Structure 1
Amino acid sequence: MQSNVGLIIEEKAADIGNFMVGRLLPFRQKRAVGPFLFIDHMGPACLKEYQNLDVPPHPHIGLSTLTYLFDGAIFHRDSLGNSIEIKPGEVNWMTAGKGVVHSERTPEYLRGQDTYLHGFQIWIGLPKHLEQCEPSFFHIDKDAIPAWEDKGVAYKLIAGSIKDRESPVPVHSPMYFIEIKTKKPQTIDIGNRLFGEVGMYVLDGTVKIEGNDYGSKQLMIAKNASLCEFETNGQTTLYLFGGEPFQEERFMFWNFVNSDRSVLESAKENWKNQNLVAFPKIPDDDKEFVPLPEPKAIKSKR
Structure 2
Amino acid sequence: MTISSLHLIKPHVKDLGGFTVKRLLPSLSHKMVGPFIFFDHMGPAVFGPGEGLDVRPHPHIGLATVTYLFEGVILHRDSLGSVQPIHPGDVNWMTAGRGIVHSERSPDEVRRVGGPLHGIQIWVALPKMHETLAPSFEHHPVSTLPVVDLPGVQLRLVAGAAFGHTAPATTFSDMFYAALEMMPGSRFTVPAEYPERAVYLVDGEADVEGSVLPAQYMAVLPAAQEFTIEAKTKARIMLLGGKSIDGDRVIWWNFVASSKDAIEKAKEDWRAQRFGAVPQETEWIPLPEAPKPPESFS
Short-chain TM bin: over 0.9
Identify the residue that residue 284 of structure 1 maps to in structure 2: 280
Identify the residue that residue 35 of structure 1 maps to in structure 2: 35
Question: Residue 226 of structure 1: SS of its match in structure 2?
Answer: coil
Identify the residue that residue 108 of structure 2 maps to in structure 1: 108
Question: Residue 112 of structure 2: SS of its match in structure 1?
Answer: coil
Percent identical among aligned pairs is 39
Q: Closer, same or farther in 2 for the Cα pair 1:232/1:30, shift >3 Å? A: same
Question: Residue 239 of structure 1: SS of its match in structure 2?
Answer: strand
- Write the distance in 2 (CA, Å) between the matches of 1:230 and 1:20: 27
Identify the residue that residue 251 of structure 2 maps to in structure 1: 252
The CA deviation string for residues 96-120 of structure 1, in whole angstroms up to 9 with x for no partner, is: 0000000000101122322110011
The CA deviation string for residues 149-198 of structure 1, in whole angstroms up to 9 with x for no partner, is: 12332111111101411111111111001122221212322225x31200
In the TM superposition, residue 284 of structure 1 has moved relative to its aligned partner by 1.1
- Write the distance in 1 (CA, Å) between the matches of 2:13 and 2:4: 27
The CA deviation string for residues 126-151 of structure 1, in whole angstroms up to 9 with x for no partner, is: 01100000000000000001112123
Q: How does 1:140-289 map to 2 (within 5 A)?
A: 140-192=140-192, 194-224=193-223, 226-275=225-274, 279-285=275-281, 287-289=282-284
More deviation, 129-138/47-56 = 47-56
- Write the distance in 2 (CA, Å) between the matches of 1:18 and 1:99: 32
- Write the distance in 2 (CA, Å) between the matches of 1:36 and 1:90: 19
In the TM superposition, residue 270 of structure 1 has moved relative to its aligned partner by 0.9
Is the Cα contact below 8 Å between 2:127 and 2:246 reproduced in 1?
no
The 4+ residue runs of structure 1 with deviation greater than 6 A are none
Identify the residue that residue 23 of structure 1 maps to in structure 2: 23
Identify the residue that residue 74 of structure 1 maps to in structure 2: 74
In the TM superposition, residue 273 of structure 1 has moved relative to its aligned partner by 1.8
Q: Closer, same or farther in 2 for the Cα pair 1:219/1:298, shift >3 Å? A: closer
The CA deviation string for residues 185-213 of structure 1, in whole angstroms up to 9 with x for no partner, is: 12322225x31200100112222223321
- Write the distance in 2 (CA, Å) between the matches of 1:141 and 1:169: 11
Is the Cα contact below 8 Å between 1:35 and 1:124 reproduced in 2?
yes
Relative to the length of structure 2, the TM-score reads 0.94
- Write the distance in 2 (CA, Å) between the matches of 1:263 and 1:229: 41
Which ranges in structure 1 are unaligned for 5 or more consecutive residues?
none
RMSD: 1.9
In the TM superposition, residue 22 of structure 1 has moved relative to its aligned partner by 1.1
In the TM superposition, residue 15 of structure 1 has moved relative to its aligned partner by 5.8
- Write the distance in 2 (CA, Å) between the matches of 1:181 and 1:113: 29
- Write the distance in 2 (CA, Å) between the matches of 1:186 and 1:154: 10
Q: Closer, same or farther in 2 for the Cα pair 1:231/1:171, shift >3 Å? A: same
Q: Closer, same or farther in 2 for the Cα pair 1:205/1:132, shift >3 Å? A: same
Relative to the length of structure 1, the TM-score reads 0.93
In the TM superposition, residue 40 of structure 1 has moved relative to its aligned partner by 0.8
In the TM superposition, residue 246 of structure 1 has moved relative to its aligned partner by 1.1
Question: Residue 171 of structure 1: SS of its match in structure 2?
Answer: coil
In the TM superposition, residue 239 of structure 1 has moved relative to its aligned partner by 1.2
Question: Residue 202 of structure 2: SS of its match in structure 1?
Answer: strand
Which ranges in structure 2 are unaligned for 5 or more consecutive residues?
none
- Write the distance in 2 (CA, Å) between the matches of 1:240 and 1:45: 23
